Structures are given as structure tokens and as C-alpha cells.
């Protein structure tokens, strides 16, 4: 690693338009960071002194740091790739939690992107993920659900990942894992890349479903059921547009997002980005996040909808209470961009500065 530990410094970002995770402010204002936290939002003279360093945003937009709600990460260099693109938190969906813990410690030391994880996902012996990708089969039936969840909780998992597939765990097993997770205060995320597993995940009351079907679009009726029974979707269109198998169509995935959005299902921004040798497809960490935003807008979300899914909604549905908004007292995870991404989503790429827990990073210096 080339970076060394940095201390979060007090700094005032002046003349910034604020997207607070929900709405864009009409007038430029000042945000003060100190000790890794946001300590002031607004033109408060008490928050500044004559010696406070300032960054003149010149009307650029300051947003909460982006959150990628589906990644696979193994190295701190990958975390740096996310930071360079303004992604300050990533949510891993399969890496062993001992690796996640080490990465979190390295991220603090380096002042880079934070990471949370599910540890080993739940699957069964005859599933594709077990046979082709080496995911261990830790579940046979609903009788194993409580033990599986206890094992992940003991490791430190932040949420529970379930691979809904055919062949794979049946609805009773998925529901058993969901119930056990909730009893332990953990939420659940289900992988479902085709229509039947997506239905199964909804029937089992999974909290969040990642991917959208490639073999058949989700109609408004099923989307409405998901709105009632689940909390959010993470479509990973940046991955789905790359997948080719007989009967697969990216059009189905895009139509599914439009249906989910029309039904009011919260859409979170996740990419399935990875650099894993066994993975057949590898969206690039960081860069694919902006592609995902653009694809979601193409599918019918407004830029504001997409940015909410990248910030405040991701924090809400994954229980990240200390981030996801520009508000006093929250962790100083922020990104300053040129242009106005609430009107033109491609402006999300124009990153001028990034702060991870108050530690400043300038992408132009990389």
C-alpha cells in the first residue's frame, strides 16, 4: 500500500449546492467537516474561524458519498478504485467475513472506502453457485436455517445473503433463513437472476432482492406484491446487460426495473462489480457504479430517484444510520461533483473531491 494514515481535518466547503440525500438545495451554502463528522450545514458563522481551511465549490454539487449495494471485494486497492469514483461505502455479498474485517481495518488506516459484508451466502449442494463457483453448501433444508444464521452472526456478518436459484433452496428453506435472520436482528438479501427464484424470494419475505430476471420481465402485479412483502430491489443492470445465455434478454431486466419502480419498490444502486478469477463477468469497481446510475435512468428512474438509491435509500434499507445524507452529526462521507447530477445523471462521474470519514481525497492527484 502506498497511502499512509491521514487524520480528518477541519475544512469548510463553501458555495456548494447540497443534495442532502433527498433533495437539491436552491442556493449555495457551507458545510463544515471536523473529526470525521459533518458538524455544520448552512452559513453559520459560529462554525468557522479565520484559520479554517476552505474549499470553494463554485456552485458544484455536494452529495453524500455514494453507496454501492452489491459488490465482491478482496483488496484495499479495489476500495481505492471505488473511492476514486466517489463511492465511499460498498456492501459485499459473498466474501468471507475475516477478509471483510481486515479490509475494514485497512480502509480506516488508508482513509479509503468503507466495506460491510454478508460473509458466506446460503446455498445447497446442487446449486449452480455451489457446482460452478465453489460456494460451500452450508444448508440442506429449513432445519439448517437457524444454525446457518447463527454461524454468520458469530462471524460478524452485517446481513444475510441467500442464493435463490433453481436448483437451490426451496421457499420453506429461504423463509426459515429470513425468520432466523430477523430473530437475530439481521436483514436478508436474496440473489435472484431469473423469474422463478425472484417469485420464490418474494414469497419467502426476503428483505432485499438483488438482480432482476433475464428470462422473463416482472409485471406490475408481481411488483406490487414485492412492494407489500419486501423492502427494496438492487437490480445490478451493469451486470445484467453483460449476461448472455439462451433465452436471456437485457430488455427483460430493464422492463422489470420499470415495473418495480412504477409499483413503488425502492430501487438501490448496486453493480455486482468484482475482480474475481472465477467470475465469468467483471463490472469494473467504481466505474460501473456510474454506468448503473445511467442504466437505471434509462429504465425510467429520474436522476433524483437514482441518486436517492445511491445514498439515503441504501443507508436506510441496510441500516447504515450514520451516513447517506448531508446532515449534522453524520459521518463525513461526501462527494463533490461538477455539474448537476440531479438533472444530468452523467454529471455523477465528474468527481472533484471525496471525503471518507472526513479524510479528503482528490481524484486528480491519483
Q: pLDDT value at position 50?
A: 73
CA dist 148 and 5 (Å) reads 37
CATH number corresponding to 65-317: 3.20.20.140
In this prediction, residue 189 has a pLDDT band, given cuts at 50, 70 and 90, of: very high
State how far Cα 46 lies from the chain centre.
Answer: 35
* 290 pLDDT above the threshold of 60: yes
pTM: 0.96
Going by their DSSP bridges, the two strands 208-210 and 188-191 should be labelled as: parallel
Edge-to-edge strands, sheet with 232-234: 160-163, 188-191, 208-210, 232-234
Q: What is the pLDDT of residues 310-360, one digit of tens each?
A: 999 999 999 999 999 999 999 999 999 999 999 999 999 999 999 999 999
Helix (H, G, I), strand (E, B) or coil at 258: helix
Q: pLDDT value at position 278?
A: 77
- Long-range CB pairs of 26-29 (<8 Å, 24+ gap) are 28/57, 28/59
Q: DSSP strand E in the chain: where?
A: 11-18, 29-34, 37-41, 54-56, 61-64, 66-71, 87-92, 114-117, 160-163, 188-191, 208-210, 232-234, 334-337, 351-356, 359-361
Average pLDDT over residues 149-163: 97
CA dist 57 and 17 (Å) reads 8
Tell me the domain boundaries of the chain: 11-63+324-365, 65-317
Decide if 92 contacts 119 (C-beta within 8 A).
no
Q: pLDDT value at position 2?
A: 46
* 8 pLDDT above the threshold of 50: yes
Q: Half-sphere exposure (CA, 13 Å, Cβ side) for 236?
A: 30
Decide if 186 contacts 153 (C-beta within 8 A).
yes
| CATH 2.30.40.10 is the classification of domain 11-63+324-365 | yes
* 133 pLDDT above the threshold of 90: no
Nearest in space to 192 (alpha carbons), one of 316, 320, 315, 70: 70
DSSP-derived secondary structure for 274-335: ---TT-S--PPTTHHHHHHHHHHHHTT--HHHHHHHHTHHHHHHTT-TT-SS--TTSB--EE
**Residue given cell 436474496 in the structure block:** 190
Q: pLDDT value at position 138?
A: 84
State how far Cα 342 lies from the chain centre.
Answer: 19
Higher pLDDT, 256 or 128: 256
Average pLDDT over residues 138-166: 96
Q: Which three cell numbers stand for residue 213?
A: 430476471
CA pseudo-torsion sign 300, 79, 207, 243: positive
Q: What is the pLDDT of residues 247-266, one digit of tens each?
A: 999 999 999 999 999 999 99
DSSP-derived secondary structure for 177-221: HHHHHHHTT--EEEE--SHHHHHHHHHTT-SEEES--SSS---HH
Amino acid at each position: 500500500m502506498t497511502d499512509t494514515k491521514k487524520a480528518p481535518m477541519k475544512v469548510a466547503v463553501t458555495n456548494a449546492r447540497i443534495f442532502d440525500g433527498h433533495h437539491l438545495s436552491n442556493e449555495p451554502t457551507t458545510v463544515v467537516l471536523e473529526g470525521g463528522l459533518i458538524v455544520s450545514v448552512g452559513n453559520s458563522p459560529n462554525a468557522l474561524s479565520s484559520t479554517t481551511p476552505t474549499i470553494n465549490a463554485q456552485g458544484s454539487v455536494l452529495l453524500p458519498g455514494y453507496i454501492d449495494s452489491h459488490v465482491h471485494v478482496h483488496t484495499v486497492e479495489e476500495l481505492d478504485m471505488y473511492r476514486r469514483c466517489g463511492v465511499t461505502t460498498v456492501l459485499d455479498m459473498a466474501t468471507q467475513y475475516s477478509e471483510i474485517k481486515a479490509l475494514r481495518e485497512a480502509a480506516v488506516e488508508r482513509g479509503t472506502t468503507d466495506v460491510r459484508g454478508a460473509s458466506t451466502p446460503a446455498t445447497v449442494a446442487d446449486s449452480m453457485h455451489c457446482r460452478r463457483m465453489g460456494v460451500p453448501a452450508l444448508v440442506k433444508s429449513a432445519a439448517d436455517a437457524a444454525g446457518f444464521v447463527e454461524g454468520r452472526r458469530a462471524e460478524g456478518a452485517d446481513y444475510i445473503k441467500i442464493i435463490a436459484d433453481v436448483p437451490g433452496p426451496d421457499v420453506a428453506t429461504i423463509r426459515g433463513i429470513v425468520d432466523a435472520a430477523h430473530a437475530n436482528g439481521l436483514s436478508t438479501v436474496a440473489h435472484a437472476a431469473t423469474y422463478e427464484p425472484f417469485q420464490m424470494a418474494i414469497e419467502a419475505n426476503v428483505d432485499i432482492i438483488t438482480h432482476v430476471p433475464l428470462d422473463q420481465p416482472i409485471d406490475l402485479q408481481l411488483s406490487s406484491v414485492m412492494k407489500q412483502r419486501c423492502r427494496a430491489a438492487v437490480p445490478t443492470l451493469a451486470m445484467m446487460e453483460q449476461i448472455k445465455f439462451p433465452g436471456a434478454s437485457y430488455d427483460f431486466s430493464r422492463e422489470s426495473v420499470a415495473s418495480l419502480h412504477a409499483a413503488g419498490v425502492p430501487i438501490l444502486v448496486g453493480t455486482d462489480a468484482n475482480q474475481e478469477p472465477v467470475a465469468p463477468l467483471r463490472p469494473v469497481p467504481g466505474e460501473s457504479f456510474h454506468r448503473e446510475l445511467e442504466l437505471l435512468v434509462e429504465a425510467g428512474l429520474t436522476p433524483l430517484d437514482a441518486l436517492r438509491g445511491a445514498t439515503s435509500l441504501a443507508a436506510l434499507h441496510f441500516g447504515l444510520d450514520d451516513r447517506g445524507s448531508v446532515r449534522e452529526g453524520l459521518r463525513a462521507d461526501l462527494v463533490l461533483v461538477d455539474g448537476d447530477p440531479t438533472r444530468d445523471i452523467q454529471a455523477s462521474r465528474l468527481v472533484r473531491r471525496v471525503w471518507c470519514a472526513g479524510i479528503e481525497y482528490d481524484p486528480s492527484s491519483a
